[in-house]
Copies of this chain bind each other. A is one copy, B any other.
């Protein structure tokens, strides 16, 4: 919904809005049964006064296209042609369907992130200036397209890439073979495939309290349950009759930034092993630790750990390349599910990543990137000290993108999110990662420029201190 009425138009704002909505309804874009956004949200989207919205909606109600139900909102009730031609009830299809919708805040973030005017204070991606665009461009000109790879790919992904990944993860202590690797379209797809290929409805996913997993729904949409488990040693037996899984981010947990000590690694591994509880290790930030760390997978001798990595946080998320490392039977199964899901990942992306991993360009780039991120982390830390020393607490970053700030008061409300959005500032509130957590905010030093960080944090501080939302 990025359309906006034009102010200098000879047709009034009111009429432009009425006609636009009526056309959306007539074309089936706004199907019968669809709920319209709130008046406040519409006013924001169209950049007009609330009163203009009210009058436009009134006209549409008078025309019989909309109806408002007290306490429930405004809905599309008819379409200009619906008495003549029956049409699928798309809204009903959507409401009844399987996959959970993203929470509203995340949908808004997804919609507004591409807008270049936004100051993005919490985003999970690198600033364009930290991406090696020129070098990537050069490699495009220099790699020779493999004829075979223009066609459908082998189920597990290109063998050249799997060999390159083998050599790459060995540097962090993981000894494996290409047969134990599945190339996926990013770490997110890895979670999706594991849900569909290894778990059942009713399976339980254990995870620490605040978790990235609460901001997406691969497991919940497949009928699985999420259980908070902050101390794995408190678990003495597994729930009956369901294949469970422990979802862990041992290095640079998202959002908390926490990295397990060597001892914690051993404890978690031993306890999960005793319980025969497989561990899903999400290591997408692992290579960005400022101190050397080892993945849990490096101490796994019994095929207990499903390991997930990706180039999204280091090289380029647009490439959509990640990997799963697991016992061969698991990989064969997940490769079969992937073949039924999307017939493999872009082979163009695969070739480019192979080239970067094998040429040394990747390692050189990551080394520089870590230094840059370290400087940025210190900059954000200084800003936070300046603005929030008395209001909040946080740890200094040890790597990755984020600082997880806890305000003493529950000030990180949805109204703060919306109010900052109106000032073109996007934040990632704690409630995205843990329902009803209004104390935390995930701040990222990876994306915004120093200027934008300074302005953005200043505005955030102002809003919080003056309670302007």
Residue A62 is within 8 A (CB to CB) of chain B in the complex: no
Band of interface residues on A:
35 or more
For chain A, residues 130 to 154, give those with C-beta under 8 angstroms from any C-beta of chain B: 131, 133, 136-137, 140-141, 143-145, 147-154
Residue A349 is within 8 A (CB to CB) of chain B in the complex: yes
Residue A125 is within 8 A (CB to CB) of chain B in the complex: yes
Residue A68 is within 8 A (CB to CB) of chain B in the complex: no
A336/B102 contact (C-beta < 8 A), A24-B328, A90-B330, A329-B94 known: yes
Interface pick from A46-54, A183-191, A427-435: A183-191
Residue A212 is within 8 A (CB to CB) of chain B in the complex: no
Residue A155 is within 8 A (CB to CB) of chain B in the complex: yes
Chain A 164-181 interface 0/1 with B at a Cβ cutoff of 8 Å (1 = within):
000000000000000110
State the Cβ distance, A131 to closest chain B Cβ, in Å: 5
Judging by beta carbons under 8 Å apart, are B88 and A28 in contact?
Answer: no
State the Cβ distance, A32 to closest chain B Cβ, in Å: 10
Judging by beta carbons under 8 Å apart, are A111 and B342 in contact?
Answer: no
Judging by beta carbons under 8 Å apart, are B131 and A97 in contact?
Answer: no
Q: Which one of B93, B99, B276 contacts A340 once the chains associate, using CB atoms below 8 Å?
A: B99
Judging by beta carbons under 8 Å apart, are B197 and A94 in contact?
Answer: yes
Judging by beta carbons under 8 Å apart, are A347 and B328 in contact?
Answer: no
Judging by beta carbons under 8 Å apart, are A93 and B198 in contact?
Answer: yes
State the Cβ distance, A203 to closest chain B Cβ, in Å: 9
A318/B94 contact (C-beta < 8 A), A107-B336, A155-B110, A276-B89 known: no
Residue A30 is within 8 A (CB to CB) of chain B in the complex: yes
State the Cβ distance, A283 to closest chain B Cβ, in Å: 17
Q: Which one of B90, B195, B330, B348 contacts A352 once the chains associate, using CB atoms below 8 Å?
A: B348
Judging by beta carbons under 8 Å apart, are B137 and A144 in contact?
Answer: yes
Residue among A197, A223, A275, A302 having the largest count of chain B Cβ atoms under 10 Å: A302
Judging by beta carbons under 8 Å apart, are B152 and A317 in contact?
Answer: yes
Judging by beta carbons under 8 Å apart, are B150 and A198 in contact?
Answer: no
For chain A, residues 176 to 223, give those with C-beta under 8 angstroms from any C-beta of chain B: 179-180, 185-186, 188-189, 192, 195-201, 216-218, 221-223
Q: Once bound together, how far apart are the Cα atoms of A141 and B339, in whole Å?
A: 30
Q: Once bound together, how far apart are the Cα atoms of A383 and B29, in whole Å?
A: 50
Q: Which one of B24, B140, B343 contacts A140 once the chains associate, using CB atoms below 8 Å?
A: B140
Judging by beta carbons under 8 Å apart, are B273 and A86 in contact?
Answer: yes
State the Cβ distance, A440 to closest chain B Cβ, in Å: 22
Report A's interface with B, CB cutoff 8 A.
Answer: 24, 27-31, 34, 81, 85-94, 96-102, 107, 110-111, 113-114, 125-126, 128, 131, 133, 136-137, 140-141, 143-145, 147-155, 179-180, 185-186, 188-189, 192, 195-201, 216-218, 221-223, 243, 273-278, 301-304, 312, 316-320, 327-330, 333, 336-337, 339-349, 352
Between-chain CB contacts (< 8 Å), 20 pairs? A27-B328, A30-B329, A87-B304, A88-B278, A90-B303, A93-B330, A97-B197, A97-B198, A99-B340, A133-B145, A140-B143, A141-B141, A152-B317, A192-B341, A216-B340, A318-B344, A320-B347, A342-B342, A345-B346, A348-B349
Which 7 A-B pairs give the minimum distances between C-beta atoms? Answer: A28-B303, A29-B328, A318-B347, A346-B346, A28-B327, A99-B196, A141-B141
